[in-house]
Chains A and B, each alone.
Chain A
């Protein structure tokens, strides 16, 4: 199975406020509030670390969650943010965020 890499788009603005990560698409002003787990994935989305590794090292290590469930939740989160263009997804490392 091929690896999946995720990177943050540059067409966004993000800020950790009151313990919650607020992410806004600068393209359409869509606004997202990320929960704790999503925030960890977001912060680790450097375009170079495979999503599976992020889930294993950052999510499962920090939160008491089954790997299969963490993977399913992460896939759904990534898919949703990617649909809005604020998270980039590739089967290869993402050198430069678009």
Chain B
């Protein structure tokens, strides 16, 4: 059988996806438009498509465990394995884009945990060359503030922000992981200027948050699934370093465009 490949690059990390189904490859090409890459992939996955079964439609929660050097990623709708040493993995799922999207998110949480970054429940945008993150639980206003973004703002995501660590700074990168906006972010990055925690209120205002409160809020909103104590510690360290180096503020807002006057 002929295989069809596509490389999806998020956070400057190209991942090759290989399938025997050309239709699924085309579906992925549409899903990840703007994030396709010709760079040499760091990791590759064979995607094994299966027919819908009771097993693959169950609502089992996500489980991420390392066994004998291989990560096992399980959820009701997918089974994946990834050998970081060999740089290879497999994904078993039905032909839908949501399962592979979840596998990619989990993969990136593992990669970022090792390199001082993390995925965060947050919208993010670049303005005047600097990135702003807007974090909060569902309903806090991530999609709302994304919809209100002015023309000069480059939207990176309305749902899952990609935070990378370089030796001297934290960067936000665009992701194809969309929320209610149902639109991928732009594939670019910028140093993070401010992290805002969103809350809706009677008027626009912003105030500084102390580091202790900031780390509590940040840890609540970081995506991490692996049952691995060393990686959990690593994520905690990264979060601490983040709040020590990036201003964290509370942004109370009404759903109108003037809120962006405070995003500077």
CB distance from B150 to the nearest CB of A (A): 33
CB distance from A22 to the nearest CB of B (A): 6
Complex formed: what's the CA distance from A19 to B213 in Å?
11
Q: Considering only CB atoms, which chain B residue lies closest to A18 in the complex?
A: B211
- A13 touching B237 by the CB < 8 A rule? yes
Which residues of A29-50 are within 8 A (CB) of B? 29, 31, 33
Q: Which residues of A sit under 8 angstroms from B230, Cβ to Cβ? A: 26
Asked whether any CB of chain A lies closer than 8 Å to the CB of B212, the reply is yes
Asked whether any CB of chain A lies closer than 8 Å to the CB of B43, the reply is no
Which residues of A7-23 are within 8 A (CB) of B? 11-13, 15, 17-20, 22
Q: Which residues of B sit under 8 angstroms from A24, Cβ to Cβ? A: 219, 232, 236
Q: Which residues of A sit under 8 angstroms from B243, Cβ to Cβ? A: 17
- A18 touching B210 by the CB < 8 A rule? yes
B215, B232, B233: which contacts A17 (Cβ < 8 A)? Answer: B215
Complex formed: what's the CA distance from A88 to B248 in Å?
34
- B236 touching A15 by the CB < 8 A rule? yes
CB distance from B237 to the nearest CB of A (A): 7
Q: Which residues of A sit under 8 angstroms from B237, Cβ to Cβ? A: 13, 15
Secondary structure at the A interface, as helix, strand, loop or mixed, is: strand
From known contacts A13-B237, A15-B236, infer whether A26 and B219 are also in contact, taking CB-CB under 8 Å.
no
Complex formed: what's the CA distance from A13 to B236 in Å?
7
Q: Which residues of A sit under 8 angstroms from B214, Cβ to Cβ? A: 18
For B, the interface residue count at a CB cutoff of 8 angstroms equals 17
Q: Which residues of B sit under 8 angstroms from A13, Cβ to Cβ? A: 232-233, 236-237
Q: Mark B180-214, 1 if CB is under 8 A from A, else 0.
A: 00000000000000000000000000000011111
A22, A26, A27: which contacts B215 (Cβ < 8 A)? Answer: A22
Other A-B pairs beyond A11-B229, A20-B212, A26-B232, 18, CB < 8 Å = A12-B233, A13-B233, A13-B237, A15-B215, A15-B236, A15-B237, A15-B240, A17-B240, A17-B243, A22-B212, A22-B215, A22-B216, A24-B219, A26-B229, A26-B233, A27-B229, A33-B212, A33-B216
Instruction: State the A residues within 8 Å of B (CB).
Output: 11-13, 15, 17-20, 22, 24, 26-27, 29, 31, 33
Which 3 A-B residue pairs are closest in the complex by CB-CB distance? A18-B211, A26-B229, A20-B212
